[in-house]
Amino acid sequence: MHSFTDFAWRYCAPQEKPYGMDFSGSSNTRELNYILSSSVMLRRLKADVLSQLPPKRRQLIEVEVDTKYLRQVKKYMDVVYGDI
């Protein structure tokens, strides 16, 4: 694949949703399995590599959100879930 977009359109069964494209599906799975199986693919268990991982780090990052965007999200939520 040349890019994430190419990969997503081919293997993620994209669907257009009110908030944008949803790439959570799957398509052409046999083809993808063949491609991955025919190349080198390593899979290691967490227990085997745990000692090599850095310590867990938690961080709070504050972001500013545009109020116009929040109004759009609320409007969408009201349509999908009703006026809560």
13 touches 26 (CB < 8 A): yes
Is residue 16 scored above 70 in pLDDT?
yes
pTM above 0.75, yes or no: no
**Which residues face 9 on adjacent strands?**
none
pLDDT reported for residue 84: 58
pLDDT reported for residue 61: 93
Q: How does the average pLDDT of the chain come out, rounded?
A: 88
Is residue 69 scored above 90 in pLDDT?
no
Question: What token pair was written down for 11?
Answer: 């293997």
Is residue 12 scored above 70 in pLDDT?
yes
Is residue 48 scored above 70 in pLDDT?
yes
Is residue 28 scored above 90 in pLDDT?
yes
Residue in 78, 61, 62 with CA at minimum distance from that of residue 70: 78
24 touches 10 (CB < 8 A): no
